[in-house]
Chain A
Amino acid sequence: YDLTQPPSVSVSPGQTASITCSGDKLGDKYACWYQQKPGQSPTLVIYQDSMRPSGIPERFSGSNSGNTAILTISGTQAMDEADYYCQAWDSSTVVFGGGTKLTVL
């Protein structure tokens, strides 16, 4: 099972960034998203398609339908510049997307 993400996305500060994750019937599974900054472990920012863990800002939101999950960052800030990975479970195994580098410029 494969999950496909764009390698890079650029956004201006204060604007909305959208990062897609595509997989066969992904909407039938739970998708989640991780943020990873250089030299750090990944941090969960969205789980079960659209839930935000405690401490994650409200500007992070998620959706999942059909073959595509989307991570949306509203009012993007410089601190949001990072790599983002989607992830799903498929038959007791785990799959990650290839990652998207978000540039805020």
Chain B
Amino acid sequence: QLQLQESGSGLVKPSQTLSLTCAVSGGSISSGGYSWNWIRQPPGKGLEWVGHIYQIGSTYYNPSLRTRVTISLDRSTNQFSLRLTSVTAADTAVYFCARAATYYFDFWGQGTLVTVSS
């Protein structure tokens, strides 16, 4: 059974960079046919897709975040990561990592709350 686990700083100061990692177990991020995604959910609000990366390294980002987001893969540790620069309070959210099969997310992490505050 595939499992995903987010980790990273839970508190980030405004204007700084948010960094999160998703550890994947029970399967390889190098498997073809999947993408590795970040999705966020501000407190009390809906889901917002942040972006994804394919095992070949190609990336796609939410147009509203594109200038600030970078997603990368580390095949040696079977992890993928999210960097979001110049954060503001609007970036406060639970951040989920998830695997996407063809057009749907089949496995999700439990989520990690990131708060942007001085």
Contacts and interface: CB of A to CB of B under 8 A. Distances in A.
> What is the size category of the interface that chain A forms with chain B?
20 to 34
B49 A93 contact: yes
Interface in B44-73: 46-49, 52, 60-63
B108 A42 contact: yes
Interface of A: 29-30, 32, 34, 36, 41-44, 47-48, 53, 85, 87-89, 92-99
Interface residues of B, number: 23
Nearest to A95: B49
Main secondary structure of the interface of A (DSSP, over half): strand
B110 interface: yes
B111 A41 contact: yes
Given A85-B46, A96-B46, A34 B62 contact: no
B108 A32 contact: no
Interface string B77-103: 000000000000000000010001111
Contact of B49 (A29, A36, A41, A96): A96
B10 interface: no
Contact of A42 (B100, B103, B105): B105
